[in-house]
Amino acid sequence: MWIALLLSLIALAAVLLLRYRRGRALSQAARQLKEARSQPGKRLRLSAPDQPVEELLAQINGLLEDRENETRQLREREESLRRQIANVSHDLRTPLTSILGYLQLLEGNLEPEQRSRYLQVVEERARVLQELITAFYDLSRIEGGEYPLEIQPVDLRRRLEPLLASFYDDFQQAGFQVEVELEEGLPPVLADPGGVTRVLTNLLSNALKHGSTALTIRLYREGDFLVTSFSNDAPHLTQDDLPRVFERFYTGDQMRTGQNTGLGLAIVKALAQRMGHTAFAQLENGVFTVGVRWHMYR
């Protein structure tokens, strides 16, 4: 009987000791949690092993890490939004300032030839402004899933060839030496016909605005993909620029002229993704290549 009583007392003491240690551990964890709210990166730790409490603290530490990641991403989005607002304000202000300036000049006594030239400048700046607003609106609709798409088999070569013909005079006047390589007999891709035309048009426009005099345009098969690529020398582009070429309002030279919005490639990436394909950019030996990998339709 005495042995049973002694064992009962030992068991009770062990339970009380365990509860004391667990209570102490939880109190310590509560203090650490209070500190962690004002000290990013701080994690909760136990001074003595206790598996159930350790599992609880591991979950709390996971929540702390998730909160810090969300806070960091929120700050990055806010900074990106501020940068975008500043850029769009600048790009809107530049043509508007020019338009207002020339309109003031038109109020004076001008020769007919001079008046005609000023009116032409006003019209050109107004078109730039219209294109910027339209591009920004379209990008917002694409990213918001409000851009209408009708997915069907599309022949990329038949879409690209007439665009190349329509850009021929522009490239000639700009002094480009264009090399075109389009494979024949390629299968179609599943996409929206108008979306494909918009993507290819933006890629051609980007090459015309930012490319050098040598441009290589290719359409070829790569494994399970068809690739449309546009390559040109880019001596001023760096590897640091590469991850950002698809950002809104980003341009490699960062020269904001009111005619260089940086929205074209952002639309390419967003629209390609909405159709289930992938835009890419790479820089090798000073040659910049941008394009889209399209999933083949079988």
pTM: 0.63
Q: Calculate the CA 120 to chain-centre distance.
A: 35
Name the residue among 205, 179, 164 with its Cα closest to residue 290. 205
- State the chain's mean pLDDT as an integer: 77
3-state secondary structure of 73: helix
Q: Does 47 or 265 have the greater pLDDT score?
A: 265
> What CA–CA distance (Å, rounded) separates 153 from 143?
23
**What was the pLDDT predicted at 64?**
65
Asked if residues 19 and 53 have their Cβ atoms less than 8 Å apart, the reply is no
Is residue 62 over pLDDT 50? yes
**What was the pLDDT predicted at 259?**
45
Is residue 139 over pLDDT 70? yes
**What was the pLDDT predicted at 140?**
77
Across residues 171-187, what is the average pLDDT?
Answer: 91
53-67, 84-98, 231-245: which has the highest mean pLDDT?
Answer: 231-245
Q: If pLDDT is split at 50, 70 and 90, which confidence band does 4 have?
A: low
3-state secondary structure of 217: strand
Asked if residues 278 and 292 have their Cβ atoms less than 8 Å apart, the reply is yes
Asked if residues 290 and 230 have their Cβ atoms less than 8 Å apart, the reply is yes
Q: Which of 183-197, 257-271, 277-291 shows the lowest per-residue confidence on average (mean pLDDT)?
A: 257-271
Q: If pLDDT is split at 50, 70 and 90, which confidence band does 14 have?
A: very low
Beta 152-154 vs 189-191: how paired, if at all?
Answer: antiparallel
> What CA–CA distance (Å, rounded) separates 169 from 42?
62
What domains can you pick out in the chain, each with its CATH number?
A: 2-72 (no CATH), 88-143 (1.10.287.130), 153-295 (3.30.565.10)
pLDDT in tens, 195-235: 999 999 999 988 888 777 789 999 999 999 999 999 988 87
**What was the pLDDT predicted at 3?**
58
191: β partners = 152
Please give the share of the chain, as a percent, with pLDDT higher than 90: 27
Q: If pLDDT is split at 50, 70 and 90, which confidence band does 31 have?
A: low
> What CA–CA distance (Å, rounded) separates 197 from 162?
10
**What was the pLDDT predicted at 13?**
47
Q: Does 127 or 4 have the greater pLDDT score?
A: 127
> What CA–CA distance (Å, rounded) separates 271 from 268?
5
Q: If pLDDT is split at 50, 70 and 90, which confidence band does 83 have?
A: low
76-90, 104-118, 125-139, 238-252: which has the highest mean pLDDT?
Answer: 104-118
Q: Does 169 or 66 have the greater pLDDT score?
A: 169
Q: Does 288 or 29 have the greater pLDDT score?
A: 288
